[in-house]
Chains A and B, each alone.
Chain A
């Protein structure tokens, strides 16, 4: 089948559904939607439709990125725009169906926004919402909009036209187009994609391999998961274009085993491509032949490194090796190999569908286009976003993310996962591009962005990342294997109040050695969380070491809980909830915490009625409190005297 026939067939199919006049219901059913309760909503929708004897099309879409508002449900009637409703429950879903589909009331009070052409009184456009307005969606163009399990919807929206365009060009022309777009690797390193392809294209040999790196291992990152779950064809089209440009006949998709839904959608997508002749031998009647295999990762973070990933595909322990030779010269089974990340591939298909100039119109001089970020942590609007390069952290955290919950103070934003760093409030005006982030001591990384507030201890944060990298170090390079362990031990001590003044210098020294003495980026960047936190929050380290005080009141060994005698009403709630029976007291008696027995779980603080506010948490100081329970009035009287 040639492209025109494919497009015709897909468009006919999509139009026959749309032209039927049946209402359409969409439910956000990516992993995040399901975690928020999309499945019970779906069941409720089905039973409500049956109850009202309505014939509607139900589509399970991917994630549009408004994770904080999930579960999401959209409804579309023929001739009207699609309306998106947030935080839907099974009950409200039934009500919405009755209101809109039966009684024609679109419920502007509950709607979040409209999608598509046309407008409805009282409902703003969804993409005018503060979280979506600053975004430019290129890689995520279809996520949450189309049915990821239906290739026809992808094709009807212009999908695979990028491949069609590439096949009409020479291999070198495709590479030049990529170079012109300025696209750089979205896996984190930021190497120019066109140049990477050229190395592999020019490498001698008839057998070449292509790999899609979907081993998204950074804790706090979920861009690739969303993309594969929500729009697998955008990635697969990119891979086909890449295969044509470098001359690869076989490809691998290396996906984390923790992403079962992404794997399911990919398997389905490949089956549908076969049906259209979009994968296999002589694709769309051209000279391009390409076969893709899915490889499931087995739970090793280091396999995100390209040489480790290739070892893992070959069935070996996933340990990196030294480069050169680079994969473009000698990769999988010694053949020239090109590896790109999921998001890079999705950008490739967009660039070829539109043009390099269009893409290069976004972003900064050296960092073109857009970048997706997984916004999480202490932020109001968590979710998945895509923004033009060069946007400031301030705009991401406050305009898009809506700031910090509970009026807490912003402390830092962590970018780049365990390889990145914590950037303080003073750097909120930093533009997000490869160079600026690197200059500040962090990295772009694959796009995890975790916001932390004043209640998060910065030393604990560094310790957290070192716990991760230390456990994930493959053990090949001694500085990484043993050095991270030593750094972790020191950070443990500091968090427990056993840090020594010389620890800071030793941490800095070890960081340098580990960076210099590690083969791959895991070790080469492992000290980054420590280095940036030391650079920007050294006073917190010093408070832990010198004053045995945790300024964020987060490290359990350095904090204590006290009951204020003038505020305690002797209600006994804390006593009943204390898991270690560390609280003594009786009715109308001021309760007392036995500091020896207390495990600092914080339950007493959580349960003490807000109107009393009698429990306090302190660090580095002692509160004057009676040693034994005393009558409430006596304490009050003493206070008054």
Chain B
């Protein structure tokens, strides 16, 4: 189920976003990227509006948005935890870092904690392979990770949970 947000909020945001574009079909991906940057995900209502704005079928909007891994259809947490699963990170122990993060947050990749505080994702490669394994919280990159450093990075070591 894709949750609905209140139509008023979304509409106002969308108007501001649409004002920056020309309504051309090739603008679909950038428009969706802007919406996600503002709302954190793509609500169903927003995608219908995009279809109307670009004069393309809703099915095309859904088809494109579901093709790309970047797009989310559920609200994401306030803090975005991303783990690199690149080759170098894999070889240097990324699976154990992931295990530890899953344990700390109690969620699997693609999920969000119930309090909407954290979402967890894995990324194919961040391109910081020389500092593998790499973990990114929001926009801060943490290199040379160890399972022990996970609690520290998540700021959870003090609370002891």
Q: Could you tell me which A residues sit within 8 Å of B by CB distance?
A: 31-32, 34-36, 67-68, 70, 216-222, 225, 257-260, 295-301, 312-319, 374-378, 382-384, 414, 417, 448, 450, 452, 456, 461, 464-465, 468, 472, 474, 579, 601-602
Contacts and interface: CB of A to CB of B under 8 A. Distances in A.
A222 B131 CA distance: 12
B64 A468 contact: no
B67 A450 contact: no
B64 A31 contact: no
Contacts of B128: 31-32, 35, 222
A219 B86 contact: yes
B71 interface: yes
Interface of B: 25-30, 32-33, 63-64, 67-71, 85-92, 96, 99, 103, 123-132, 134, 139, 141-144
B125 A315 contact: no
Contacts of A257: 33, 70
B129 A378 contact: no
B92 A378 contact: yes
Contacts of B141: 31, 34-35
Contact of A35 (B27, B87, B103, B134): B134
B143 A318 contact: no
Given A315-B64, A316-B64, A468-B124, A384 B130 contact: yes
Contacts of A312: 29
Contacts of A295: 29-30
B70 A376 contact: no
A335 B11 CA distance: 37
B87 A417 contact: yes
Nearest to B134: A35
Contact of A377 (B30, B92, B144): B92
B87 A298 contact: no
Given A36-B143, A317-B63, A450-B91, A221 B68 contact: no
B131 A313 contact: no
A313 B90 CA distance: 31
Contacts, number: 140
Q: Count chain A CB atoms within 10 A of each CB in B33, B129, B132, B143 and give the residue with the most.
A: B129
Q: Count chain A CB atoms within 10 A of each CB in B30, B86, B99, B139 and give the residue with the most.
A: B86
A220 B86 contact: yes
Given A221-B127, A258-B123, A299 B69 contact: yes
10 tightest Cβ-Cβ pairs between the two chains A and B: A67-B130, A220-B87, A298-B68, A376-B88, A222-B127, A299-B69, A219-B86, A382-B130, A376-B129, A35-B143
Nearest to B69: A299
A491 to B, nearest CB: 14
A245 to B, nearest CB: 26
B85 A219 contact: yes
Given A217-B125, A298-B68, 9 more contacts: A32-B130, A36-B131, A216-B127, A220-B86, A220-B129, A221-B125, A258-B125, A314-B25, A377-B129
Given A414-B87, A464-B87, A383 B71 contact: no
Given A220-B86, A296-B30, A67 B124 contact: no
Contacts of B86: 219-220
Contact of B96 (A35, A259, A417, A601): A601
Nearest to A63: B130
Q: Count chain B CB atoms within 10 A of each CB in A219, A225, A414, A452 and give the residue with the most.
A: A219
Contacts of A70: 130-131
Given A31-B126, A257-B33, A219 B87 contact: yes
A305 to B, nearest CB: 14
A461 B32 CA distance: 35
B90 A218 contact: no
B91 to A, nearest CB: 5
11 contacts: A32-B131, A36-B131, A216-B127, A219-B90, A220-B86, A298-B70, A299-B68, A299-B69, A382-B129, A450-B87, A579-B103
Q: Count chain A CB atoms within 10 A of each CB in B27, B90, B123, B141 and give the residue with the most.
A: B90
Contacts of A472: 124
Q: Count chain A CB atoms within 10 A of each CB in B32, B33, B126 and give the residue with the most.
A: B126
Q: Count chain A CB atoms within 10 A of each CB in B27, B33, B88, B130 and give the residue with the most.
A: B130
Contacts of A314: 25-26
A457 to B, nearest CB: 10
Given A36-B131, A296-B30, A300-B68, A450 B88 contact: yes
B130 A260 contact: no
A225 B71 contact: no
A375 B130 contact: yes
A68 B67 contact: no
A464 B90 contact: yes
A417 B90 CA distance: 13
B13 to A, nearest CB: 19
A301 B85 CA distance: 14
Contact of B124 (A219, A317, A376): A219
B93 to A, nearest CB: 10
A229 to B, nearest CB: 9
B16 to A, nearest CB: 19
Contact of A378 (B33, B63, B91): B91
A618 to B, nearest CB: 19
A319 to B, nearest CB: 8
B143 A456 contact: no
A420 B120 CA distance: 29
